[in-house]
Amino acid sequence: MKALRHGSFVIGAALTALLVATALVSLVWTPWSPTAIDVMQKLKPPSAQHWFGTDHFGRDVFSMIMVGARNSIVVGVVAVAIGCLSGVALGLLAAARGGWLEEAVMRFSDFTFAFPAVLSAILITALLGPGAVNSIIAIGIFNVPVFARLARGAAKSVWTRDFILAARAAGKGDLAITVEHVLPNVLSIIIVQATIQFALAILAEAGLSYLGLGTQPPYPSWGRMLNEAQTFLYLAPTLAIFPGIAIALSVLGLNLLGDGLRDLADPRLARRR
């Protein structure tokens, strides 16, 4: 298999599988309960009982990271799905119809781009209050223009191809052509982009939770674990290490997977790089 010889694809797929497996296992098993408080055991360094040590409430850090993986995946998947579905629809519509509609979609994406994601997330949490759902909405909205631009650009080049003309001659309308011919041809680059946006969503969620605007206690999230760890840097420095490694490995895995998928989907790009 060609894919198995592609370095970044293999490493990326392995790291992503590790992330998903951790989240799945955490549904049925964690070494300790991630919310069980045991003050006698607080701020312990890593040991045989508590592999990554314990936090200031004596909760098991390893278990919290396992459950945090679930949180990251849920936020990432939903946020990317929101952005991808509405963004791709907008982009395809813009490419199919052209004219003022296309102009409006493009101006809208330019504008959303000019607005830093963290700012819009902060605006939304200022309006709706902090929480996991609101951070998902905020990250999702930021994803819309990314997919809208990408889908429009790719779809426009498909629309100039001869088989579109043939489909037109066969009497198909804009909608049928978009669904049957354009979408399948732009799908691979959208999947690649979705992987990368997934990684960005994990980073964004971690940032928002670090600020206290994302997932709320007692539900564990990697970003908030880092926030709490900062208070105890002098007493328990390892607390600040593990959640960060979890975030970095997940993001690295998804980015490598995205790079690998892109190369496999379009070998010309791989050779040019």
Partner 1 sequence: MLAFLLRRLLAFLATLVAASLVVFVVLEVLPGDPAQVMLGIDAEPETLEALRKQLGLDRSAPERYFAWVGGLVRGDLGVSYTYSVPVAELVGERLVVTVPLALLAMALTSAMALALGVYAASRHGRPGDWGVMLFGQIGIAVPNFWFAILLILLFAVRLGWFQAGGFPGWSAGVGPAFKALLLPAISLSVVQAAILARVTRSSVLEVMREDFVRTARAKGNSRRRTLWRHVVRNALIPVVTIMGLQFSSLLAGTIIIENVFYLPGLGRLVFQAITQRDLVVVKDVVVLLAALVVTINFIVDLLYLAIDPRLRRAA
**Binding residues vs partner 1 (CB under 8 A):** 110-111, 113-119, 122-127, 199, 203, 206-207, 210-213, 223, 226, 229-230, 233-234, 237, 240, 243-244, 247-249, 251-252, 255-256, 273
Q: Which is nearer to partner 1, 45 or 116 (CB)?
A: 116
Q: Looking only at Cα atoms, what is the longest distance across the chain?
A: 77
Query: Which neighbouring-strand residues pair with 54?
Result: 60
Q: Which is nearer to partner 1, 40 or 272 (CB)?
A: 272
Q: How far is the CB of 105 from partner 1 (least distance, A)?
A: 15
Q: Which is nearer to partner 1, 73 or 229 (CB)?
A: 229
Q: Which is nearer to partner 1, 41 or 209 (CB)?
A: 209
Q: How far is the CB of 207 from partner 1 (least distance, A)?
A: 5
Half-sphere exposure of 25 (CA within 13 A, CB side): 14
Size of the chain, expressed as the number of residues it contains: 273
User: In angstroms, what CA-CA distances link 124 with 147, 150, 213, 253?
Assistant: 21, 25, 10, 29
Q: How far is the CB of 273 from partner 1 (least distance, A)?
A: 7
Structure tokens at 168: 């037109």
DSSP symbols for 53-96: -B-TT--BHHHHHHHHHHHHHHHHHHHHHHHHHHHHHHHHHHHH
Amino acid at 41: Q
Q: How far is the CB of 40 from partner 1 (least distance, A)?
A: 26
Q: Which is nearer to partner 1, 82 or 155 (CB)?
A: 82
Q: How far is the CB of 201 from partner 1 (least distance, A)?
A: 12
Q: How far is the CB of 175 from partner 1 (least distance, A)?
A: 30
| Selection from 211, 223, 239 nearest residue 76 by Cα | 223
Q: Which is nearer to partner 1, 176 or 269 (CB)?
A: 269
Q: What's the angle, vertex CA 105, arms to CA 100 and CA 110, rounded to 5?
A: 120
147: phi then psi, degrees, rounded to nearest 5:
-75, -35
Q: How far is the CB of 244 from partner 1 (least distance, A)?
A: 4
Q: Which is nearer to partner 1, 178 or 215 (CB)?
A: 215
Q: Are the beta carbons of 189 and 150 closer than 8 angstroms? A: yes
